[in-house]
Amino acid sequence: MTPAGWTVFLVAVSGMTGLLIWCVFKVVSTPGSEKHLHSPADIDTHDH
Amino acid sequence: MPMDNQPPKETWNTRFGVILAVTGSAVGLGNFLRFPGQAAQNGGGLFMIPYLIAFVIVGVPLAWSEWALGRYGGRMGYNSAPGIFRRVLHSRKGAYVGMLGTVMPVLIYTYYVLVEALCLYYAWHFLTGTIPALGDSVEAVGGFFVQSLGLGANGALFSADGAPFLGVVFFCFLLNFFLIYRGINQGIEKFCLYAMPLLVICAFIVLARVIPLPAVDGRGILDGLGFMWNPATQDGLIRETLANPEVWVAATGQIFFSLSVGFGLILTYASYLKKDDDVALSSLTSVAGNGFCEVVLGGLIALPAAFIFLGPVFLSDPGNIGTFSLGFVTLPNVFNQMPAGQFFGFLFFFLLFLSAVTSSLSMLQPAIALLEEGLGITRKPSVAILGFVTLIGTLFIAYFSAGATALDTVDFWMANFFIFIFATVQTLIFGWVIGAKRGYEELCAGAEINIPRWIMPMIQIVSPGYLLIIFGFWAVGRLPGRIQGMFNPPEGEPPVILMSVGFILIVLSFFAFVIARANQRWPDPQQETRS
Q: Which residues contact A15 (CB under 8 A, 6 or more apart)?
A: B52
Residues 195 through 234 of chain B touching chain A, CB cutoff 8 Å: 222-223, 225-226, 229-231, 233
Look up residue B447 and give its DSSP letter: -
Q: For position B236, what pLDDT does the model report? A: 59
Distance of CA B32 to the CA centre of its chain: 12
Enumerate the residues of chain A whose CB falls inside 8 A of the CB of residue B15.
27-28, 33-34
User: Which of A39, A44, A46, A48 should one mutate to test binding to chain B, selecting the residue with the greatest count of B CBs within 10 A?
Assistant: A39
Locate the chain A residue with the closest alpha carbon to B266.
A40
- What pLDDT does B4 receive? 45
Question: If DSSP states are collapsed to H, E and C, what string results for A4-45?
Answer: HHHHHHHHHHHHHHHHHHHHHHHHHHCCCHHHHCCCHHHCCC
Do A37 and B229 make contact, defined as CB atoms within 8 angstroms? Answer: no
Contacts of B268 in chain A (CB under 8 A): 45
* B244 C-beta neighbours (distance < 10 Å), count: 18
pLDDT band with cut points at 50, 70 and 90 for residue B192 = low
Confidence of residue B202 (pLDDT cuts 50, 70, 90): confident
Rounded CA gap, B513 and B515, in Å? Answer: 5
Q: Are B272 and B5 in contact (CB under 8 A)?
A: yes
Give the pLDDT band of residue B330 (cuts 50, 70, 90).
Answer: confident
Burial bucket for residue B510 (CB in 10 Å: 0-12, 13-18, 19+): middle
Helix pair A3-29, B15-24: axis angle to 10 deg: 140
Left (φ > 0), alpha (ψ -120 to 50) or beta: where does B260 sit? left
C-alpha distances out from residue B127 to B29, B121, B163, B495, Å: 20, 10, 20, 39
SS3 call for B219: strand
Per the CB < 8 A criterion, the answer to whether B281 and A33 are in contact is: yes
User: How much is the pLDDT for B16?
Assistant: 67
Q: Is the pLDDT of residue B412 over 70?
A: yes
Subunit contact A19:B291, Cβ cutoff 8 A: yes
B179: confidence class by pLDDT, cuts 50, 70, 90: confident
State whether B11 and A42 contact (CB < 8 Å): yes
pLDDT band at B9 (very low <50, low <70, confident <90, very high): very low
Looking at CA atoms only, how far is residue B358 from chain A in angstroms?
A: 9
**A39, closest residue in chain B (CA to CA):** B22
Rounded Cα distance, B277 and B413, in Å? 35
Closest-CA residue of B relative to A1 is B226
Of B51, B295, B448, Cβ closest to residue A26: B448
CB neighbour class for B143 (10 Å; exposed up to 12, middle 13-18, buried from 19): middle
| B448 vs A4, A8, A33: nearest CB | A33
Inform me whether the pLDDT recorded for B302 exceeds 90. Answer: no
Sign of the alpha-carbon dihedral angle for A9, A12, A16, A18: positive
Residues of B in contact with A17 (CB under 8 A): 292, 296
Please provide the size of chain B in residues.
Answer: 531
Q: Does A37 touch chain B (CB under 8 A)?
A: yes
The answer to whether the CB atoms of B17 and A34 lie below 8 A apart is yes
DSSP for B235-293? HHHHHHHHT-HHHHHHHHHHHHHHHT-SSSHHHHHHTTS-TTS--HHHHHHHHHHHHHI
pLDDT of residue B190: 64
Mean pLDDT score across all residues of chain B = 86
Segment B52-103, tens digit of pLDDT: 999 999 999 999 999 999 999 999 989 999 999 999 999 999 999 999 999 9
Report pLDDT digits (tens) over B457-481.
999 999 999 999 999 988 888 888 8
- This model of the complex carries an ipTM of 0.92
> Which of chain A's residues have a Cβ under 8 Å away from the Cβ of B192?
41
**Mutate: best of B5, B6, B19, B444, partner A, most A CBs <10 A:** B19
User: How many alpha carbons fall within 13 Å on the CB side of residue B47?
Assistant: 25
* Closest CA in chain B for residue A35: B11
Q: Which of B105-119, B171-185, B287-301 has the lowest mean pLDDT?
A: B171-185
CA distances from B1 to B83, B104, B271, B320 (A): 10, 24, 15, 51
pLDDT band for position B390 (50/70/90)? Answer: very high
Chain B residues closer than 8 Å to A11 by CB: 48, 52
The C-alpha of A6 sits at a distance from chain B's nearest C-alpha, in angstroms, of 7
Instruction: Answer yes or no: do A26 and B45 touch at CB < 8 A.
Output: no
**Tens digit of pLDDT at every position of chain A (48 positions):** 888 889 989 999 999 999 999 998 998 888 877 777 777 777 777 665
DSSP letters for B378-444? -HHHHHHHHHHHHHHHHHHHHHS-GGGHHHHHHHIIIIIIIHHHHHHHHHHIIIIII-HHHHHHHHH
Q: What percent of chain B has pLDDT over 90?
A: 45
- To the nearest whole Å, the CA of A25 is away from the closest chain B CA by 10
Q: Is the per-residue pLDDT at B325 higher than 80?
A: no
DSSP class per residue in B68-90: HHHHHHHHTT--SHHHHHHHHHT
- Please report which confidence band the pLDDT of residue B207 belongs to, taking 50, 70 and 90 as the band edges: confident
**Test the B interface: residue of A6, A13, A14, A23 with most B CBs within 10 Å:** A23
Interface contact B54, partner A, CB < 8 A:
no
Q: How confident is the model at residue B214 (pLDDT cuts 50, 70, 90)?
A: confident
Q: Give Cβ neighbours of residue A39 (< 8 Å, ≥ 6 apart).
A: B21, B22, B24, B25, B193, B282, B286
End-to-end, the C-alpha distance of chain A in Å comes to 54
pLDDT tens profile B10-59: 444 566 666 776 676 667 788 888 888 888 788 778 888 999 999 999 99
pLDDT at residue number B351: 81
- Looking at residue B466, its pLDDT comes to 95
For the stretch B151-163, pLDDT in tens is 889 999 999 989 9
The pLDDT value recorded for residue B137 is 80
Confidence at residue B116, expressed as pLDDT on a 0 to 100 scale: 94
- Across A28-37, B356-365, B391-400, least confident range: A28-37
Whether the CB-CB separation of B305 and B43 falls below 8 Å is answered with no
Mean pLDDT on B253-275:
88
**Inter-chain touch B18–A37, beta carbons under 8 Å:** yes
- Is B9 at the interface with chain A, CB within 8 A? yes
Of B303 and A10, more confident: A10
Q: Is B44 helix (H, G, I), strand (E, B) or coil?
A: strand
Residue of A nearest to B185 (CA): A47
* B125: pLDDT strictly greater than 70: yes
User: What is the structure's pLDDT at B13?
Assistant: 54
Torsion sign across C-alpha atoms A30, A34, A39, A45 = negative
Q: How far is CA B244 from CA A35, B37, B406, B424, in A?
A: 45, 17, 26, 21
Highest mean pLDDT: which of B168-172, B243-247, B272-276, B358-362? B168-172
The helix or strand, by DSSP H or E, that contains position B456, with its residue range, turns out to be helix B455-457
Question: CA-to-CA distance for B238 and B240, rounded, in angstroms?
Answer: 5
Question: CB-side exposure of B396: number of CA atoms within 13 Å?
Answer: 26
pLDDT in the model for residue B8: 45
